[in-house]
Amino acid sequence: MAISAQAGPAVEACFLSSILEAVDLALSSAKRPVALHEPRFGARERELVMDCVDTGWVSSAGRYVTLFEEMVASAVGVPHAVAVVNGTTALHAALVLEGVRPGDEVIVPSITFVATANAVSHAGAVPHFVDSTWMTMGLDPVALDEHLQQVSERRDGQLFNRQTGRRIRAVVPVHVFGHPVDVPQLQALLAKYDLIFIEDATESLGSTWKGQACGTFGHSAVLSFNGNKIITTGGGGMILTADDQYARRARHLTTTAKIAHQWAFEHDEVGYNYRLPNINAALGCGQVERLPEMVAAKRALATRYMQVFENVSGARIFREPGGAASNYWLNTLVLDREFSDERDALLSMLHANGIQARPLWTPLHLLPMYSDCPRAPLPVAEDMFTRCINLPSSPFLSGERN
């Protein structure tokens, strides 16, 4: 007893300093403090934004929105893209357009940014949490199947939750930190249960699975261009789809449902004012040109982290699942179970040394407004939360030595 009580703190201190040393080495001489994720702009972005300022086309009309939509659609390889003010509104509109109605349930992972569940709530629906898998950090198809077998039943051709009596309408898988979910298994499962697949691709622009881009797997998908995402428009989002009619409706609903006319103001339903302003789209046009360069730099940084952590025991860098090429939006350090109690000490130590690491999002079923929502057992989500941290992941950290 006495020996282990003495060995404990020494082992822990040694563990903490070996992690700090490795992160310091990976980030080399990058100026401290090192932020979690920062955008970077160049002359091109300045030129495009100044064009909006100089011409006065800063708001809801102007040529950059369409141009930006075309550029992203072509980068992802999807027929239609509709730009909106942020990723949350993109999700909200997508849920409404997919036919999610007040009182429906929508399956989401518990390990995701709160916006995924908030958008479901904004649509008047109820988030229903299902566990994640360590294979991808995203929704676990096996857990989803087992759970649906237990709680769901088919009535009049629709799927219902037997415990709540509510209709289960859609599933919103998230490619967490850029790592694609298990696409074929999820697609097969959603087809089996006849559930709509809406892809939360807000973190995975530039990620692929077997060469096909994230954002092309669901009936619709959403992107975010928030300041900390892979490319940014300041604030912005996008709805992607291959369905012509859905795309037309998406554009209509997100632009106040106004009927196109030279001067008349006619609206034919309660629409949303979600259109991305031209000045934000202009910034996006400059950013999307750099997407391949950003993804390459972020993958190089991930490789660097993996190299320095190869010789560290007690923790590892999360690696993309087989078949996937991740954009590594945020690098994740996974602590071994025996060190899960050290997470907060590690975060304090990193912050004290100018490294702005952070824990995972608090699993959504543990937040007060979502604690009563329907859910499957969530042991993996809780395990992930206790022993994962995100490390600084700005693309320029891979090369620059300032």
Ligand X SMILES: *Cc1c(COP(=O)(O)O)cnc(C)c1O
- Provide the annotated active-site residues: 229
If binding is defined by CB under 6 A, does position 398 make contact with ligand X? Answer: no
Numbers of helices and strands, H then E, in the chain: 12, 16
CB of 224 to ligand X, least distance (A): 3
Beta-carbon count within 10 A of 242 CB: 15
Write the CA distances from 230 to 66, 162, 298, integer angstroms.
20, 40, 9
CA 52 to chain centre: 29
100 forms part of the interface with ligand X (CB under 6 A): no
Query: Which residue has 């859609």 as its token pair?
Result: 170
| Minimum CB–partner distance for residue 226 and ligand X (Å) | 4
- Grouping H, G, I as helix, E, B as strand and the rest as coil, residue 84 is strand
Which of 82, 93, 115, 334 contacts ligand X by CB under 6 A? 115
Q: Which stretch binds ligand X (CB under 6 A): 71-79, 113-121, 255-263, 370-378?
A: 113-121
Of residues 277-306, which lie at the interface with ligand X (CB under 6 A)?
A: none
Q: Is 253 in the site for ligand X (CB under 6 A)?
A: no
Is residue 199 involved in binding ligand X (CB under 6 A)? no
What end-to-end distance do the CA atoms of the chain give, in Å? 49
Q: How far is the CB of 235 from ligand X (least distance, A)?
A: 6
Which positions from 16 through 75 interact with ligand X, judged by CB under 6 A?
none
Rule CB under 6 A: which of 75-94 touch ligand X? 86-88
Q: How far is CA 96 from CA 47, 78, 120, 329, in A?
A: 37, 21, 9, 28
Q: Which of residues 314-373 bind ligand X (CB under 6 A)?
A: none
What tokens were used for 13?
């201190």
- Minimum distance from residue 29 beta carbon to ligand X (Å): 30
Distance CA 69, CA 238 (A): 8
Query: Rounded to the nearest 5°, which phi and psi values hold at 171?
Result: -125, 135
Q: How far apart are CA 385 and CA 380, in angstroms?
A: 8
Residue nearest to ligand X (CB): 87
Out of 64, 68, 113, 309, the only residue in the binding site for ligand X (CB under 6 A) is: 113
Among 136, 202, 255, 332, binds ligand X (CB under 6 A): 202
Contact set for ligand X, span 214-243 (CB under 6 A):
224, 226, 237
**Is 174 an interacting residue with respect to ligand X (CB under 6 A)?**
yes
CB of 200 to ligand X, least distance (A): 5
Tokens matching residue 301: 């940084």
What strands lie across the sheet with 212-213, from one edge to the other? 212-213, 208-209, 324-325
Query: Quick check: 16 and 345 in contact, CB under 8 A?
Result: yes
Nearer to ligand X, 174 or 380 (CB): 174
Count, residues near ligand X per rule CB under 6 A: 14
Q: Rounded CA gap, 210 and 324, in Å?
A: 6
Residues interacting with ligand X, by CB under 6 A? 86-88, 112-113, 115-116, 174, 200, 202-203, 224, 226, 237
